[in-house]
């Protein structure tokens, strides 16, 4: 009994040490936002993966979560969260819940998170993890996220975790003036994380970094089976 408890406690400590190292690596790679780094230091990451993948949970790689989808690599997640620059009182919309890892991070960075996932089973699993972690300010819905989630709009920030051909129109509509959309977009065969800022009457788009995500499939993005989808059909994806 006591052996068992000691083993469990050290296992917990081991993951904490791994997270510390992961976060140090993110800081070394140029992530400066202290709230993002603190959130990633505090939130367990391995529990968002199937147990056989736990040993790899803190490597800077994408990892499979089933249904041909992947958990985004930590540096990319950190970059996107930093670019969103969320304040504590803001509301965010996430498209592509996946494992729910980023959803949980968003929940600790702002007031409320609304997340949409097109694969029912992934949405259900992510919901379970969020509940298990006692996170109460995140809601997950199974739907085509290219429609956004109009009920709770406008959003101060929107983050899309799959590559789109352009910003889906409903997302632009549901963004508050002064709000930011962080979205990977594929243009001329080049996949880049872009930050789109909405000011009164105009949009400004800045490319942040090259990336490789799974395609955003839906009414206002790629059609299923679209050969253009994802731009980069091969290589590492997050
Ligand atoms: N940040 C997530 C990334 C998951 S991968 C993580 O780290 O786990 C991207 C996710 O986007 C996949 O789960 C995929 O099913 C989902 N997705 C793709 N198109 C979508 C759409 N139109 N609406 C909602 N989710 C979508």
| pLDDT tens-digit map of 75-88 | 999 999 999 999 99
Answer yes or no: is 233 within a domain.
no
Evaluate whether residue 184 is within a structural domain.
yes
Distance between terminal CA atoms of the chain?
A: 41
Does a structural domain hold residue 35? yes
| Any domain includes 218 | no
pTM over 0.85: yes
- Span 190-227, pLDDT tens digits: 999 999 999 998 999 999 999 999 999 999 999 987 76
Q: Does residue 97 form part of some domain?
A: yes
- 222 in a structural domain: no
| Helix, strand, or coil (residue 125) | helix
User: For residue 206, what are the domain limits?
Assistant: 2-210
Beta carbon of 73 within 6 Å of any ligand 1 atom: no
In a domain, 229, yes or no: no
How far is ligand 1, taken at its centre, from the CA of residue 214, in Å?
Answer: 8
For ligand 1, pick from 162, 185, 219 the residue to mutate: most ligand atoms within 8 Å of CB: 162
Reported as a single tens digit per residue, the pLDDT across 6-21 is 555 567 789 999 999 9
* Number of domains within the chain: 1
Which residue out of 70, 118, 124 has the highest number of ligand 1 atoms within 8 Å of its CB and is therefore the one to mutate?
118
CATH code, domain with 99? 3.40.50.150
For the residues 112-128, what does the mean pLDDT come to?
98
Say if ligand 1 is within 6 A of residue 214 CB.
yes
Closest C-alpha to 216, from 99, 140, 119 = 119
Q: Has residue 217 been placed in a domain? A: no
Residue-level pLDDT at 8:
56
Closest residue by Cα to atom 4, ligand 1, is 98
């Amino acid at each position: 009994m006591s052996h068992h408890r000691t083993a469990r406690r050290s296992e917990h400590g081991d993951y904490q040490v791994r997270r510390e190292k992961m976060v140090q690596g993110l800081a070394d790679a140029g992530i400066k936002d202290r709230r993002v780094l603190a959130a990633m230091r505090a939130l367990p990451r391995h529990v968002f993966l199937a147990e056989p993948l736990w040993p790899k949970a803190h490597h800077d790689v994408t990892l499979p979560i089933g249904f041909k989808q992947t958990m985004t690599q930590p540096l990319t997640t950190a970059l996107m969260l930093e670019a969103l620059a969320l304040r504590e009182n803001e509301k965010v919309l996430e498209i592509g819940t996946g494992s729910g890892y980023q959803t949980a991070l968003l929940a600790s960075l702002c007031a409320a998170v609304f997340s949409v996932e097109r694969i029912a089973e992934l949405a259900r699993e992510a919901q379970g993890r969020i509940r298990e972690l006692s996170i109460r300010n995140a809601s997950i819905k199974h739907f085509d996220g290219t429609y956004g989630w109009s009920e709770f709009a406008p959003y101060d920030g929107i983050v899309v975790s799959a590559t789109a051909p352009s910003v889906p129109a409903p997302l632009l509509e549901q963004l508050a003036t002064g709000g930011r959309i962080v979205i990977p977009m594929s243009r001329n065969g080049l996949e880049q994380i872009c930050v789109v800022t909405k000011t009164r009457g105009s949009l400004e788009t800045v490319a942040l970094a090259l990336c490789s995500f799974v395609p955003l499939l839906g009414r206002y993005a790629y059609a299923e089976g679209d050969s253009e989808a994802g731009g980069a059909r091969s290589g590492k994806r997050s």
